[in-house]
Every structure is written in C-alpha cells, then in structure tokens.
Amino acid sequence: MRASLLLGTLLVGLSGSASGNTGVFFGSGHSVQLVKSADVRMVSEDVTIKPVCGASATKHSVEFRCKFILKNISAKSVRIQVGFPLDGEAGGPPRPFSDDCGEVLARHFIARDASNTYHVRHVANSLNKYPRVFLWDMEFAAGETKTLHVGYILPMSFAAYTARKVEAPERMLYPPHYEKAWHARIEACMVLYFSYVTETGQSWVGPIEKATFRVENAVFEGHLRKFPEYVGGNPADLPPGTEIPDEGSSSAGPGSMAELGFVNGMKLGTVYPRISPKAWKSAYTTPEIPAGQSKPEYEPNCIVWEYENYKPGPPLNFAYYLLALPETAAECEPWVKRVLGKTRTAADVLELREIVAAFFGIAPHTASVKRLVQQQIWYNAQSGMGESELSEKQRAVLARLETIANGRRSASPPH
C-alpha cells in the first residue's frame, strides 16, 4: 500500500504540461469560465509543436506556435475576452510569482495579430477545470477577419512511473502481485509527458473549417535516445563498492524507490513513445512540397493531424517512457546485475532474454514471462516476428544475454 501511495505522489508531475487552444472566456479570477461565442468563428487552426531536449529529462521543454484565423460573422462590432489555458490538469498550486507578469514572461507567452500585440493577463486559482488561464481582449469590426498568432514554451512533465498497463481506478491503491521480486524492476520507468488540449475550440461558432497539428518529434526523439537517465546518478559516479540489492532484499524498505523497482545506477534510456490520437501520419517539416518537386532525401521528420470541419474533442497526448532495458550488448551485464542482484540464476537470465525479445517483438514461450509482458504497455501480442527479422544490434543483445546465462550454467555444480 505504501509503495502505491509513493508512486501516486511521484505521478503528480505527469499532469503538469497540458495546454489548450484559444477559447472564449467570461469573468475573471475565480469566476473565469469557458463560454460559447455567438458571433466569432474559428476558420482555421494551425499548430506547430516542437519538443526540445535539455541537459537532462527534468530540463526538457515544449515550444508551441499557433496560428488561428478568427472571423466575426455578425453584422455588428464585437468585443470578446479570449483565453488560452495552460497547465489545464495540474494538481499543484501556481508558481509563486509576485504578479501575473512573471508568469507571462516565464512561459514566453505572446499573442498578436497584424495590428496588435495584446496585453496578456494571467489568472490563477480559478475554481473550474482550467486553473491557469492567459486572457486578453480582442475587438472585431462587423465581418472582420483576424489572424491571431500565439506562442509560448512549457517545461515538460517528468515523473517516476510504471510500464504496467493502467488498472481500474479502484485497484490503483493496491500494489500488483509479482511472481518474482525483480519483475518490479522490469516495469520501473520514468515518463516524459505533455499534451495539447483541443476542447476549448468548441467555444467558437460552428466547427473549425480546417485544423492542422504538426509535431516536430524526430530530432527530439533522436536526442532523447542519446541522453539516458540514471536512478541515483550515473553508475560511473557511484562510490566503489556500492551495494546492489539481491532479489527480495530486505534493504528495500516499504515505500522506498527500491521497492518500486528502482535501483541505484539503473539506466533508463530505452525510449517507448505513446502518442494519441493515432490518426496521425508521417510528414516533413516543410508542410507542402510544390508539385513536381521531389521529396527530401531524409526521412519524414514530423507527424501531423489534419482535419476538415473539425469538432474539437480529445487532447493530443505525448508520453515518452524511459525503460530500463538494454539497447546494446555492452549494457547487458550491468543490466542483469541491477535487475537480478548478486543471486541471479541461469533460469532468471533466460527469462530476462525472453522479456527483451518480447520488447523487440518476439512472442515469449515461458508462462511466467507471458503473464508479465502481457501487462506491459509496450507489448504487441500481434507482432508475430521471428529473431531472424531483428536488427543486427537487437540480435547482439539477445546473444549476449544467452552467453551470460550459459556462463552461469557452466559455473553450476553438476547434478
């Protein structure tokens, strides 16, 4: 129970980096509410999202560049209060700035059109579902169309987590049952998370004629794979003789990180992305390639959602799971030590090999491994791959794990 409560505490950061598209709001302070305009329509929405790697996972950020075309469809002039919610799902209090100017500057928030750079006000602690909203006033002449540009930067959320599939809410406070203590170390991971809320777009008249959401994810994901995180610090920096707990070690006290599966020196660098909704397609950073011009030689470097007559609904969610699985043959020996401790057996190492193979797409055959991997968010039961279809690097990892297991066998006394 205490382990689950600790995990719940660590997960608070997961809801921090949510943002929403432009909407119409009424009121101020605690009374701010999303309302529906009867006069102004959002003709189009074009959003570019660029995640950026920092020096560590806690320093990663996300840049948002948004372009909205708004039209007053009425025959009268209109003045509305426009709002842009940030950190829409965060559970903690806003940061303690002395005034709203500090929060606006910290987010690098700007809203402008062809004629105006708007004075943006930050409203915090509102009692509705949008506890942090940036507000400004816009005026439209009868029939006027304006192109609104909004830009801002958010820190990416980062939290200790588990690769186990989410259970029913009523089961969240009960720790899972593991057939072996080290199974928890397979599931232990960190998650980077951010999102873009679209539902606030429902506050404009009618559907949005065209909506495009573009995410420049290729460079970020490439860099992310080059900067692994280590629990308790890089193992090269750990004092000589640092103890690695045995399986089921009593040193892993109730509610401790070790009980949750985290071990000092554990490398968290195998990236498993989960992006939703799944209706995106691969694309190039340049939105349109002129007719007759060949495509760039490089691979598509972003993903895009494109909609017509768009009715805003589910948010765009981005979660990057940093798993403690080996990516190279050289990582296998330290990984086995940190997962199994000093009392590993050949059978356990072979189970680890099956688990890694399952991550690569190979169906496991051992019953206990099947039960474990079927609970993992990364497992694809329909893959149907064979080891011959794996990359050379992946086959080298499996070969090294088999060598480690065979080494333990040869050292075992004859029966």
Predicted confidence band at 104 (pLDDT cuts at 50, 70, 90)?
A: confident
pLDDT at 90 over 50: no
Q: Are residues 408 and 286 in the same domain?
A: no
- Residue 15 in this model has a pLDDT that exceeds 70: no
- Give the residue-averaged pLDDT of 111-115: 95
Number of domains in the chain: 2
Q: How would you label 85-120 residue by residue, b for 16+ Cβ within 10 Å and e otherwise?
A: bbbbbbeeebeeeeebeebbeebebebeeeeeebeb
Same domain, 217 and 348: no
pLDDT mean over 40-61: 92
Range of the domain at 188: 2-225+273-321
Residue 295 has phi, psi (to 5 degrees) of -70, 155
**pLDDT value, residue 141:** 97
The pLDDT of residue 281 is above 90: yes
pLDDT at position 98 is: 43
63 with 167, same domain: the answer is yes
Q: Are residues 159 and 35 in the same domain?
A: yes
State the average pLDDT over residues 245-254.
54
Q: Decide if 402 is inside a domain.
A: yes
Q: Is residue 264 part of a domain?
A: no
Same domain, 317 and 348: no
Tell me the mean pLDDT in the region 301-317: 93
Q: Which residues of 186-207 are buried (b: 16+ CB within 10 A; e: fewer)?
A: bbbbbbbbbbbbbbbbbbbbeb
Give the pLDDT score at 363. 93
Q: Is the pLDDT of residue 170 over 60?
A: no
Q: Of 131-145, 259-273, 288-302, which has the strongest mean pLDDT?
A: 131-145
**Which range in 40-44, 120-124, 237-241, 411-415 is most confidently predicted, on average pLDDT?**
40-44
The model's pTM is: 0.84
Of the spans 226-240, 298-312, 329-343, 353-367, which averages the highest pLDDT? Answer: 353-367
- Name the phi and psi angles at 53, rounded to 5: -80, 135
Residue 290 sits in the same domain as residue 402: no
Sorting pLDDT into bands at 50, 70 and 90, what band is 153? very high
- Once rounded to an integer, what is the mean pLDDT over residues 1-23? 46
Same-domain status, 401 and 348: yes
Looking at the structure, do residues 390 and 313 belong to the same domain, yes or no? no
In a domain, 406, yes or no: yes
Structure confidence by residue, pLDDT tens digits, 177-198 = 788 989 999 999 999 999 998 9
333 assigned to some structural domain: no
Residues 402 and 306 in one domain: no
The pLDDT of residue 94: 52
Task: Tell me if 260 is assigned to some domain.
Answer: no
pLDDT tens digits along 374-407: 999 999 888 778 899 999 999 999 999 999 999 8
Residue 263 placed within a domain: no
Residues 313 and 374 in one domain: no
The mean per-residue pLDDT over the stretch 131-140 comes to 90
The answer to whether residue 328 scores a pLDDT higher than 70 is: yes
Mean pLDDT (the chain) is 82
Inside any domain, residue 77: yes
| Percent of residues, the chain, with pLDDT higher than 90 | 50
Residue 48 scores a pLDDT above 90: yes
Q: What is the mean pLDDT of residues 161-177?
A: 71
